[in-house]
Homo-oligomer: A and B are copies of this chain.
Amino acid sequence: MTDAAPTLADPSTPFAVLDIEKARRNAQRLTARLAGQGVLLRPHVKTAKSVPVARLMLDGATGPITVSTLHEAEAFADAGYHDILYAVGIDPHKLPRVVELARRGVVMQVLLDTLAQARAVTEASTRAGVTIPALIEVDCDGHRGGVDADGAALLEIGAELARGGDLGGVLTHAGESYFAATPEARRDAAHHERDVAVHAADRLRAAGHDVATVSFGSTPTAHAADDLSGVTEVRAGNYVFFDLVMAGIGVCDVDDIALSVVVTIIGRTPSGDLMTDGGWMALSRDRGTAVQERDQGYGLVADLDGRMREGLLVTGVSQEHGIIGARDGAEVPDLPVGARLRILPNHACATASQHDGYHVIEGGTDVEGAIAVGDHWERLRGW
Protein backbone atom coordinates (compact mmCIF):
# COMPACT_ATOMS: atom_id res chain seq x y z
CA MET A 1 0.00 0.00 0.00
CA THR A 2 1.46 3.40 -0.88
CA ASP A 3 0.96 6.54 1.16
CA ALA A 4 -0.35 8.37 -1.86
CA ALA A 5 -3.84 6.94 -2.40
CA PRO A 6 -6.18 4.66 -0.51
CA THR A 7 -6.70 1.18 -1.90
CA LEU A 8 -9.73 -1.09 -1.97
CA ALA A 9 -8.60 -2.34 1.44
CA ASP A 10 -9.17 1.05 3.07
CA PRO A 11 -12.76 2.43 2.90
CA SER A 12 -15.26 1.09 5.41
CA THR A 13 -17.24 -1.73 3.80
CA PRO A 14 -19.62 -2.21 2.11
CA PHE A 15 -19.00 0.24 -0.72
CA ALA A 16 -19.51 0.40 -4.49
CA VAL A 17 -16.55 0.30 -6.85
CA LEU A 18 -16.57 1.48 -10.43
CA ASP A 19 -13.83 0.29 -12.77
CA ILE A 20 -13.76 3.18 -15.23
CA GLU A 21 -11.46 1.36 -17.60
CA LYS A 22 -14.23 -1.19 -18.12
CA ALA A 23 -16.93 1.48 -18.19
CA ARG A 24 -15.05 3.41 -20.84
CA ARG A 25 -14.57 0.26 -22.91
CA ASN A 26 -18.28 -0.54 -22.58
CA ALA A 27 -19.20 2.99 -23.65
CA GLN A 28 -16.90 2.88 -26.63
CA ARG A 29 -18.33 -0.46 -27.71
CA LEU A 30 -21.82 0.99 -28.14
CA THR A 31 -20.54 4.23 -29.68
CA ALA A 32 -18.58 2.18 -32.22
CA ARG A 33 -21.55 -0.08 -32.90
CA LEU A 34 -23.80 2.91 -33.70
CA ALA A 35 -21.19 4.89 -35.66
CA GLY A 36 -22.14 5.00 -39.30
CA GLN A 37 -25.73 3.92 -38.64
CA GLY A 38 -26.84 7.56 -38.86
CA VAL A 39 -28.41 7.73 -35.43
CA LEU A 40 -27.90 9.88 -32.39
CA LEU A 41 -26.90 8.17 -29.12
CA ARG A 42 -28.99 9.51 -26.25
CA PRO A 43 -27.66 7.54 -23.27
CA HIS A 44 -29.93 6.84 -20.33
CA VAL A 45 -28.36 8.17 -17.15
CA LYS A 46 -30.69 6.19 -14.84
CA THR A 47 -28.22 3.33 -14.28
CA ALA A 48 -25.27 5.40 -13.11
CA LYS A 49 -27.11 8.61 -12.03
CA SER A 50 -23.75 10.32 -12.06
CA VAL A 51 -22.55 13.30 -14.06
CA PRO A 52 -18.96 12.03 -14.46
CA VAL A 53 -20.26 8.67 -15.74
CA ALA A 54 -22.49 10.46 -18.24
CA ARG A 55 -19.46 12.44 -19.44
CA LEU A 56 -17.66 9.16 -19.99
CA MET A 57 -20.66 7.78 -21.94
CA LEU A 58 -20.66 10.80 -24.27
CA ASP A 59 -16.89 11.27 -24.47
CA GLY A 60 -17.10 14.59 -22.64
CA ALA A 61 -20.13 16.04 -24.43
CA THR A 62 -22.98 17.48 -22.31
CA GLY A 63 -25.88 15.74 -23.96
CA PRO A 64 -28.20 14.58 -25.31
CA ILE A 65 -29.38 12.36 -22.46
CA THR A 66 -32.36 10.34 -21.27
CA VAL A 67 -33.48 10.54 -17.62
CA SER A 68 -35.84 8.52 -15.44
CA THR A 69 -36.74 11.24 -12.92
CA LEU A 70 -37.12 14.99 -12.95
CA HIS A 71 -34.53 15.13 -10.20
CA GLU A 72 -32.01 13.72 -12.69
CA ALA A 73 -33.18 16.27 -15.26
CA GLU A 74 -32.72 19.14 -12.82
CA ALA A 75 -29.30 17.97 -11.65
CA PHE A 76 -28.03 17.39 -15.17
CA ALA A 77 -29.39 20.77 -16.27
CA ASP A 78 -27.37 22.29 -13.43
CA ALA A 79 -24.33 20.47 -14.85
CA GLY A 80 -24.85 22.02 -18.29
CA TYR A 81 -26.91 19.35 -20.06
CA HIS A 82 -29.57 21.07 -22.18
CA ASP A 83 -31.13 18.31 -24.31
CA ILE A 84 -33.02 16.00 -22.01
CA LEU A 85 -35.71 13.36 -22.54
CA TYR A 86 -37.69 12.34 -19.46
CA ALA A 87 -38.65 8.83 -20.54
CA VAL A 88 -41.34 7.96 -18.00
CA GLY A 89 -44.96 8.75 -18.87
CA ILE A 90 -45.61 12.27 -17.65
CA ASP A 91 -47.67 12.79 -14.50
CA PRO A 92 -49.52 16.13 -15.04
CA HIS A 93 -48.71 17.13 -11.45
CA LYS A 94 -45.02 17.21 -12.41
CA LEU A 95 -45.49 19.65 -15.33
CA PRO A 96 -44.57 22.80 -13.38
CA ARG A 97 -41.08 21.32 -12.92
CA VAL A 98 -40.88 20.52 -16.65
CA VAL A 99 -41.97 24.09 -17.48
CA GLU A 100 -39.31 25.45 -15.16
CA LEU A 101 -36.62 23.44 -16.96
CA ALA A 102 -37.90 24.66 -20.33
CA ARG A 103 -37.76 28.23 -19.05
CA ARG A 104 -34.11 27.66 -18.17
CA GLY A 105 -33.47 26.89 -21.83
CA VAL A 106 -33.41 23.11 -21.62
CA VAL A 107 -34.94 21.27 -24.57
CA MET A 108 -37.03 19.22 -22.21
CA GLN A 109 -38.91 16.40 -23.91
CA VAL A 110 -41.62 14.37 -22.20
CA LEU A 111 -43.23 11.02 -22.93
CA LEU A 112 -46.94 10.15 -22.99
CA ASP A 113 -49.44 7.65 -24.29
CA THR A 114 -52.85 9.08 -23.37
CA LEU A 115 -54.97 11.94 -24.61
CA ALA A 116 -55.27 13.23 -21.04
CA GLN A 117 -51.50 13.64 -20.79
CA ALA A 118 -51.33 15.30 -24.23
CA ARG A 119 -53.97 17.82 -23.17
CA ALA A 120 -52.19 18.52 -19.89
CA VAL A 121 -48.84 19.09 -21.65
CA THR A 122 -50.43 21.32 -24.32
CA GLU A 123 -52.22 23.36 -21.71
CA ALA A 124 -49.19 23.75 -19.44
CA SER A 125 -46.83 24.74 -22.26
CA THR A 126 -49.34 27.17 -23.80
CA ARG A 127 -50.03 28.81 -20.45
CA ALA A 128 -46.32 29.16 -19.70
CA GLY A 129 -45.38 30.18 -23.23
CA VAL A 130 -42.72 27.48 -23.53
CA THR A 131 -42.19 24.56 -25.88
CA ILE A 132 -42.36 21.05 -24.43
CA PRO A 133 -41.78 18.51 -27.19
CA ALA A 134 -43.76 15.35 -26.47
CA LEU A 135 -42.93 11.88 -27.73
CA ILE A 136 -45.75 9.37 -28.06
CA GLU A 137 -44.83 6.02 -26.54
CA VAL A 138 -45.64 3.14 -28.86
CA ASP A 139 -45.90 -0.42 -27.59
CA CYS A 140 -43.70 -2.93 -29.42
CA ASP A 141 -43.87 -5.99 -27.19
CA GLY A 142 -46.57 -5.65 -24.52
CA HIS A 143 -43.87 -5.12 -21.90
CA ARG A 144 -45.08 -1.92 -20.30
CA GLY A 145 -46.93 1.11 -21.72
CA GLY A 146 -47.49 2.66 -25.11
CA VAL A 147 -50.24 2.92 -27.69
CA ASP A 148 -50.83 0.43 -30.48
CA ALA A 149 -48.89 1.52 -33.59
CA ASP A 150 -51.98 0.66 -35.67
CA GLY A 151 -54.61 2.05 -33.33
CA ALA A 152 -56.69 5.20 -33.27
CA ALA A 153 -55.11 6.59 -30.10
CA LEU A 154 -51.80 7.29 -31.86
CA LEU A 155 -53.45 9.64 -34.34
CA GLU A 156 -55.77 11.22 -31.76
CA ILE A 157 -52.83 12.05 -29.50
CA GLY A 158 -50.80 13.25 -32.47
CA ALA A 159 -53.62 15.57 -33.53
CA GLU A 160 -54.01 16.93 -30.00
CA LEU A 161 -50.29 17.70 -29.76
CA ALA A 162 -50.13 19.19 -33.26
CA ARG A 163 -53.08 21.45 -32.46
CA GLY A 164 -51.73 23.26 -29.43
CA GLY A 165 -48.49 21.68 -28.35
CA ASP A 166 -45.39 20.20 -29.89
CA LEU A 167 -45.43 16.70 -31.35
CA GLY A 168 -41.79 15.70 -31.09
CA GLY A 169 -42.10 12.16 -32.38
CA VAL A 170 -42.46 8.58 -31.23
CA LEU A 171 -40.60 6.30 -28.83
CA THR A 172 -40.38 2.55 -28.34
CA HIS A 173 -38.75 0.45 -25.61
CA ALA A 174 -38.27 -3.27 -26.18
CA GLY A 175 -38.43 -4.30 -22.53
CA GLU A 176 -38.95 -7.95 -23.41
CA SER A 177 -35.51 -8.03 -25.07
CA TYR A 178 -33.98 -8.36 -21.60
CA PHE A 179 -35.23 -11.94 -21.76
CA ALA A 180 -33.94 -12.61 -25.32
CA ALA A 181 -31.15 -15.10 -24.72
CA THR A 182 -29.75 -15.49 -28.26
CA PRO A 183 -28.22 -13.00 -30.70
CA GLU A 184 -30.91 -13.96 -33.23
CA ALA A 185 -33.71 -13.27 -30.76
CA ARG A 186 -32.23 -9.88 -29.91
CA ARG A 187 -31.74 -9.01 -33.58
CA ASP A 188 -35.35 -9.97 -34.25
CA ALA A 189 -36.43 -7.84 -31.29
CA ALA A 190 -34.40 -4.91 -32.63
CA HIS A 191 -35.87 -5.24 -36.12
CA HIS A 192 -39.37 -5.46 -34.71
CA GLU A 193 -38.84 -2.49 -32.40
CA ARG A 194 -37.52 -0.44 -35.33
CA ASP A 195 -40.39 -1.52 -37.59
CA VAL A 196 -43.01 -0.58 -35.00
CA ALA A 197 -41.41 2.82 -34.29
CA VAL A 198 -41.01 3.67 -37.97
CA HIS A 199 -44.52 2.48 -38.80
CA ALA A 200 -46.01 4.67 -36.08
CA ALA A 201 -43.97 7.66 -37.32
CA ASP A 202 -45.12 7.00 -40.90
CA ARG A 203 -48.78 6.90 -39.86
CA LEU A 204 -48.40 10.25 -38.11
CA ARG A 205 -46.64 11.68 -41.18
CA ALA A 206 -49.38 10.37 -43.44
CA ALA A 207 -51.82 12.28 -41.23
CA GLY A 208 -49.91 15.45 -42.00
CA HIS A 209 -47.66 15.76 -38.96
CA ASP A 210 -43.95 16.47 -38.76
CA VAL A 211 -42.19 13.68 -36.88
CA ALA A 212 -38.62 14.67 -36.14
CA THR A 213 -37.76 12.02 -33.57
CA VAL A 214 -38.02 8.24 -33.81
CA SER A 215 -36.50 7.12 -30.52
CA PHE A 216 -35.51 3.49 -30.08
CA GLY A 217 -33.79 1.63 -27.37
CA SER A 218 -32.76 -0.79 -24.71
CA THR A 219 -29.28 -2.14 -24.03
CA PRO A 220 -30.01 -5.51 -25.68
CA THR A 221 -31.63 -4.09 -28.85
CA ALA A 222 -29.12 -1.24 -29.14
CA HIS A 223 -26.33 -3.82 -29.27
CA ALA A 224 -28.22 -6.10 -31.65
CA ALA A 225 -29.46 -3.54 -34.18
CA ASP A 226 -27.76 -3.84 -37.57
CA ASP A 227 -30.15 -1.69 -39.60
CA LEU A 228 -31.69 1.36 -37.99
CA SER A 229 -33.24 2.89 -41.10
CA GLY A 230 -35.88 5.38 -40.06
CA VAL A 231 -34.70 5.56 -36.46
CA THR A 232 -33.23 8.92 -35.41
CA GLU A 233 -31.87 8.14 -31.94
CA VAL A 234 -30.94 5.20 -29.72
CA ARG A 235 -31.39 5.08 -25.93
CA ALA A 236 -29.55 2.67 -23.63
CA GLY A 237 -28.16 2.97 -20.13
CA ASN A 238 -27.17 -0.31 -18.53
CA TYR A 239 -24.46 -0.91 -21.15
CA VAL A 240 -21.94 1.32 -19.38
CA PHE A 241 -21.87 -0.90 -16.28
CA PHE A 242 -23.36 -4.17 -17.54
CA ASP A 243 -24.29 -6.87 -15.02
CA LEU A 244 -24.95 -10.57 -14.56
CA VAL A 245 -28.38 -10.33 -16.22
CA MET A 246 -26.79 -8.92 -19.37
CA ALA A 247 -23.98 -11.49 -19.18
CA GLY A 248 -26.60 -14.20 -18.69
CA ILE A 249 -28.27 -13.46 -22.03
CA GLY A 250 -24.91 -12.95 -23.76
CA VAL A 251 -24.90 -9.18 -24.32
CA CYS A 252 -21.58 -8.95 -22.42
CA ASP A 253 -19.07 -11.13 -20.60
CA VAL A 254 -18.76 -11.28 -16.83
CA ASP A 255 -15.37 -9.62 -17.27
CA ASP A 256 -17.05 -6.54 -18.77
CA ILE A 257 -19.02 -5.76 -15.59
CA ALA A 258 -17.72 -2.41 -14.35
CA LEU A 259 -19.64 -2.22 -11.04
CA SER A 260 -19.00 -4.28 -7.92
CA VAL A 261 -19.48 -4.02 -4.17
CA VAL A 262 -16.63 -4.60 -1.73
CA VAL A 263 -17.61 -6.61 1.35
CA THR A 264 -15.77 -7.98 4.38
CA ILE A 265 -15.85 -11.48 5.86
CA ILE A 266 -17.29 -11.29 9.39
CA GLY A 267 -17.59 -14.98 10.20
CA ARG A 268 -19.00 -18.30 9.04
CA THR A 269 -22.45 -19.77 9.21
CA PRO A 270 -23.10 -22.94 11.22
CA SER A 271 -23.06 -24.84 7.91
CA GLY A 272 -19.62 -23.49 6.97
CA ASP A 273 -20.53 -20.78 4.46
CA LEU A 274 -18.93 -17.34 4.64
CA MET A 275 -20.75 -14.48 6.33
CA THR A 276 -20.11 -10.95 5.04
CA ASP A 277 -21.22 -7.42 5.85
CA GLY A 278 -22.78 -7.08 2.38
CA GLY A 279 -26.51 -7.69 2.69
CA TRP A 280 -29.40 -6.48 0.56
CA MET A 281 -28.78 -2.92 1.73
CA ALA A 282 -25.53 -3.04 -0.22
CA LEU A 283 -26.43 -5.45 -3.04
CA SER A 284 -30.17 -4.77 -3.48
CA ARG A 285 -32.89 -7.38 -3.45
CA ASP A 286 -32.73 -7.76 -7.22
CA ARG A 287 -32.64 -11.38 -8.36
CA GLY A 288 -32.72 -10.80 -12.12
CA THR A 289 -30.79 -13.96 -12.90
CA ALA A 290 -33.33 -16.13 -11.04
CA VAL A 291 -35.30 -16.48 -14.30
CA GLN A 292 -32.20 -17.15 -16.40
CA GLU A 293 -30.61 -20.49 -17.27
CA ARG A 294 -27.92 -19.89 -14.64
CA ASP A 295 -29.16 -18.40 -11.39
CA GLN A 296 -26.34 -16.28 -9.94
CA GLY A 297 -27.92 -15.82 -6.50
CA TYR A 298 -27.37 -12.31 -5.19
CA GLY A 299 -24.14 -12.03 -7.15
CA LEU A 300 -20.85 -13.64 -8.12
CA VAL A 301 -17.68 -13.32 -6.08
CA ALA A 302 -14.27 -11.93 -7.02
CA ASP A 303 -11.10 -11.14 -5.13
CA LEU A 304 -10.18 -7.53 -4.47
CA ASP A 305 -8.05 -7.49 -7.64
CA GLY A 306 -11.09 -8.54 -9.69
CA ARG A 307 -10.14 -12.17 -10.29
CA MET A 308 -13.23 -14.36 -10.13
CA ARG A 309 -13.61 -16.87 -7.30
CA GLU A 310 -15.07 -19.63 -9.46
CA GLY A 311 -17.94 -21.58 -7.95
CA LEU A 312 -18.76 -19.03 -5.26
CA LEU A 313 -21.90 -16.90 -5.14
CA VAL A 314 -23.95 -14.93 -2.66
CA THR A 315 -26.62 -17.42 -1.67
CA GLY A 316 -28.54 -15.33 0.84
CA VAL A 317 -28.88 -11.84 2.20
CA SER A 318 -30.52 -10.05 5.05
CA GLN A 319 -30.31 -6.32 5.64
CA GLU A 320 -26.62 -6.13 6.55
CA HIS A 321 -25.51 -9.76 6.18
CA GLY A 322 -24.57 -11.69 3.07
CA ILE A 323 -23.90 -15.41 2.87
CA ILE A 324 -21.40 -16.74 0.35
CA GLY A 325 -21.70 -20.39 -0.57
CA ALA A 326 -20.40 -22.71 -3.24
CA ARG A 327 -22.01 -24.68 -6.04
CA ASP A 328 -21.04 -27.32 -8.55
CA GLY A 329 -18.94 -29.11 -5.94
CA ALA A 330 -16.72 -26.09 -5.33
CA GLU A 331 -15.31 -25.66 -1.85
CA VAL A 332 -15.93 -22.62 0.33
CA PRO A 333 -12.45 -21.22 1.00
CA ASP A 334 -11.39 -20.72 4.59
CA LEU A 335 -11.08 -16.93 4.43
CA PRO A 336 -10.27 -15.16 7.69
CA VAL A 337 -12.44 -12.55 9.37
CA GLY A 338 -11.50 -9.19 7.88
CA ALA A 339 -10.74 -10.49 4.37
CA ARG A 340 -12.42 -8.56 1.56
CA LEU A 341 -14.15 -9.70 -1.60
CA ARG A 342 -15.95 -8.00 -4.49
CA ILE A 343 -19.52 -8.94 -5.44
CA LEU A 344 -20.71 -8.59 -9.05
CA PRO A 345 -24.36 -7.53 -9.30
CA ASN A 346 -27.39 -9.16 -10.88
CA HIS A 347 -28.74 -5.80 -11.96
CA ALA A 348 -26.40 -2.81 -11.97
CA CYS A 349 -29.25 -0.23 -11.86
CA ALA A 350 -30.61 -1.74 -8.65
CA THR A 351 -27.28 -2.38 -6.91
CA ALA A 352 -25.91 1.06 -7.76
CA SER A 353 -29.07 2.63 -6.35
CA GLN A 354 -28.18 1.29 -2.90
CA HIS A 355 -25.12 3.56 -2.81
CA ASP A 356 -24.56 7.31 -2.77
CA GLY A 357 -21.50 7.16 -4.96
CA TYR A 358 -18.73 5.13 -6.53
CA HIS A 359 -15.17 4.60 -5.44
CA VAL A 360 -13.43 4.85 -8.77
CA ILE A 361 -10.60 2.56 -9.82
CA GLU A 362 -8.74 2.46 -13.09
CA GLY A 363 -7.25 -0.97 -13.53
CA GLY A 364 -3.62 -1.32 -12.47
CA THR A 365 -2.22 -2.14 -9.07
CA ASP A 366 0.39 -0.25 -7.07
CA VAL A 367 3.81 -1.60 -6.16
CA GLU A 368 2.42 -3.82 -3.45
CA GLY A 369 -0.32 -5.18 -5.69
CA ALA A 370 -3.13 -3.14 -4.14
CA ILE A 371 -5.64 -1.39 -6.35
CA ALA A 372 -5.61 2.35 -5.80
CA VAL A 373 -8.88 4.17 -5.37
CA GLY A 374 -9.16 7.52 -7.06
CA ASP A 375 -12.10 9.87 -6.89
CA HIS A 376 -15.45 9.32 -5.26
CA TRP A 377 -18.12 9.99 -7.86
CA GLU A 378 -21.46 11.02 -6.41
CA ARG A 379 -24.75 9.48 -7.40
CA LEU A 380 -28.11 11.21 -7.59
CA ARG A 381 -30.98 9.97 -5.47
CA GLY A 382 -34.67 10.72 -5.09
CA TRP A 383 -37.28 12.06 -7.43
Contact = CB atoms under 8 A, between A and B. Distances in A.
> 4 closest Cβ contacts across the A-B interface?
A285-B285, A89-B266, A116-B337, A91-B264
- Scoring A93, A114, A139, A275 by chain B CB atoms within 10 A of each residue's CB, the highest score goes to A93
A282 B319 CA distance: 17
Interface string A253-293: 00000000000101111110001010011101111000000
A68 B286 CA distance: 21
B145 A267 contact: yes
25 contacts: A12-B70, A12-B94, A13-B91, A14-B383, A15-B383, A68-B319, A68-B320, A69-B320, A88-B266, A89-B277, A89-B321, A92-B338, A112-B267, A114-B337, A142-B269, A144-B269, A144-B275, A144-B323, A145-B267, A148-B270, A175-B318, A280-B350, A285-B285, A285-B350, A319-B350
Interface of A: 12-15, 46, 68-70, 88-94, 97, 112-114, 116-117, 120, 139, 142, 144-146, 148, 175, 264, 266-271, 275, 277, 280-282, 284-287, 318-321, 323, 336-338, 349-350, 353-354, 356, 381-383
Contacts of A319: 46, 68, 349-350
Nearest to A137: B267
Contact of A284 (B271, B277, B285, B382): B285
By secondary structure, the A interface counts as loop
B117 A337 contact: yes
Contacts of A285: 284-287, 350
A42 B79 CA distance: 45
Copies in the assembly, this chain: 2
A365 to B, nearest CB: 20
Contacts of A277: 88-89, 91
Nearest to A141: B270
A78 B108 CA distance: 42
A200 to B, nearest CB: 14
Given A13-B91, A114-B337, A275-B89, A144 B318 contact: yes
A152 to B, nearest CB: 14
Contact of A264 (B93, B120, B281, B338): B93
A69 B278 CA distance: 11
A321 B145 contact: yes
Contacts of A282: 383
